[in-house]
Structure 1
Amino acid sequence: MAKFVRPALWTVGVLAAGGFVFWLLLALNIPYKSTAAPDTTPGTVPVTTPASTTVLPSGPPSEGTAYVTDVRPGPDDHSAVLHVNLPTCADAPHTQVTEAGDRIDAGVRYRPRPDPDCKQASADFPFRTAAPIGERPVIVNDAESWGLVSGGWKRCDRYVGCHPPADHCDPAYVGQLEFSAEAEFPGTTRACDQNWLVHDLQRHSGQAATRVAYRWAGSFWESFAGAKGGGCAEILAVEPKFPTALCEHLSPPG
């Protein structure tokens, strides 16, 4: 048993000696060094510099376009006169002309000036072309066509132009009648001579075609009858002079 008591007594003695030393340090007030917390540097808050605003100089005011009411002859074959409605407060009105081989685009441009009392007034603006005008149409108001014919200038049809085809069955005349009928899609011509026409109109998508009979009215096709079936009965009931050779073999519109 003695061999177990001695190590135990030795351990107790070591602990007692350590405690005595710690008590002595406290009693003598001997300072001891502790590990200081590392110094920290306060974070830097980024300062945002406001972006500078650049004021761009305003450009010149946009130009307006005068409405052309008439095109009149000029002194020679290289010239014409635009008759327009122009604001009385317009600044720097001037003609603008662009030539191509088959057309001439012309107009009167101006800078609008604010004026509560500004009114409209008529004015003439002559213009010249590099080549003779000839049969070229003059396009004004974006899409309106004028042509020089015997007797002066006239407003031309958008489909048959300033020089209409001699053939009354020409597709240009068919396009004209379809436009007048407000057809959304091209139809089908079933029969035609120079005085009479049968045409199936396709007015709206998904709807059945509508058969219409026309007579020539001097410069355009004029409708006079409609038909839901084939043959001539419905057409002859309205116009007995209609030639049966143009309708007797027609099937119903489809």
Structure 2
Amino acid sequence: MPKGPHPCVRDLKAVYTADVSTTVHVQVTLVSPDGDRRSGCTGTATESTRTVLPQALGGRELVVDNYTVFTPDGAKPPALRLCGDLGCHPAPTGCTSDSYVQALKTVDAPNHSYQDAVDCRGKWMVMQFSWPTGAASCGGDDKGCGSRLGDRYFFRAEKSGWRPIAEGAAGGCAVVQAREPDFPASMCENLAPLPASLHPHYSPAPSAGTGSASPTSR
């Protein structure tokens, strides 16, 4: 909620709106001047409000403002568990498409990233991915449409999902095994360096009068 030196929230309400199959929907509303930065309401704070459901939630999920979902599964009543991006009951971490999506989110991969190569073996994974850098909409012979950048990450499976171990465009195992000696050599020893066009490395800016920085491969 908005926070500032003066009151920033009034008429805070949580209103039951609907039952839809296995979910109960609640809408939170409030009045705040935070849209005007001159109000000073530029911080955030936690506030609470109450609502009464027509009947007990039971085993159903609670949806707040159409996008935040809570479930009673795995929580100690009366608490609820906040569901993640992959839903309230994501599949176990593994070599699956849903798990690959989670891995990309974990490393903050840019929107529209594409999995170029994935080697997944049990608790270990190496993923190379890339993303477009051209104009949002272009066609014909516009070379910007084919421009891409990319990266490579190494992961270890944990209960909460794939956890990144190391990032590196260099070939071989040095980068990942420096951080995780148990990472299988068979998954990294034959990795080639990413092309400089896909993963440019910019040298530090030179001092005045010595020219401009230029990309080099690493």
Q: Structure 1-normalised TM-score?
A: 0.50
Q: Give the aligned partner of residue 127 of structure 1.
A: 53
Q: Return the match for 1:185 from 89, 112, 126.
A: 112
Which residues of 2 match residues 124-203 of structure 1 at below 5 A? 124-128=50-54, 134=59, 136-150=60-74, 151=76, 152-159=79-86, 161-180=87-106, 181-188=108-115, 189-203=117-131
Q: Is the partner of 1:245 in helix, strand or coil?
A: helix
Using a 3 Å threshold, how does the CA distance of structure 1 residues 89 and 106 change in structure 2: closer, same or farther? closer
2:114 & 2:128 partners in 1: Cα distance? 5
Q: Alignment RMSD, CA only? A: 3.6
Which residues of 2 match residues 99-118 of structure 1 at below 5 A? 99-101=19-21, 103-109=23-29
Which residues of 2 match residues 206-225 of structure 1 at below 5 A? 206-225=147-166
Which protein, 1 or 2, shows the higher relative CO under an 8 Å CA cutoff with sep ≥ 6?
2
Which consecutive residues of structure 2, in runs of 5 or more, have no partner in the other structure? 2-7, 34-45, 134-146, 196-218
In the TM superposition, what whole-angstrom CA distance separates every residue of 1:40-71 from its partner, at most 9, and x where no partner exists? xxxxxxxxxxxxxxxxxxxxxxxxxxx7xxxx
Using a 3 Å threshold, how does the CA distance of structure 1 residues 234 and 121 change in structure 2: closer, same or farther? closer
Using a 3 Å threshold, how does the CA distance of structure 1 residues 199 and 155 change in structure 2: closer, same or farther? same
The Cα of 1:176 is off from its aligned counterpart by 2.5
Q: Return the match for 1:235 from 176, 185, 189.
A: 176
Say how many residue pairs are matched.
160
2:96 & 2:22 partners in 1: Cα distance? 20
Whether the aligned pair in 2 keeps the contact of 1:190 and 1:250 (CA below 8 Å) is: no
Q: Give the aligned partner of residue 143 of structure 2.
A: none
Whether the aligned pair in 2 keeps the contact of 1:191 and 1:247 (CA below 8 Å) is: no
* Identity %, equivalent residues: 22
The structure that has the greater radius of gyration is 1
1:164 & 1:147 partners in 2: Cα distance? 13
Question: What letter is aligned with 1:197?
Answer: M
2:55 & 2:172 partners in 1: Cα distance? 55
Q: Structure 2-normalised TM-score?
A: 0.57
Q: Is the partner of 1:223 in helix, strand or coil?
A: strand
Which residues of 2 match residues 53-64 of structure 1 at below 5 A? none
The Cα of 1:227 is off from its aligned counterpart by 2.7
Q: Return the match for 1:98 from 18, 27, 44.
A: 18
Q: Is the partner of 2:51 in helix, strand or coil?
A: strand
Structure in which a larger fraction of residues adopt helix: 1
2:72 & 2:23 partners in 1: Cα distance? 12
In the TM superposition, what whole-angstrom CA distance separates every residue of 1:153-197 from its partner, at most 9, and x where no partner exists? 1111112x2112124333333222322414222332521234221
Which residues of 2 match residues 58-77 of structure 1 at below 5 A? none
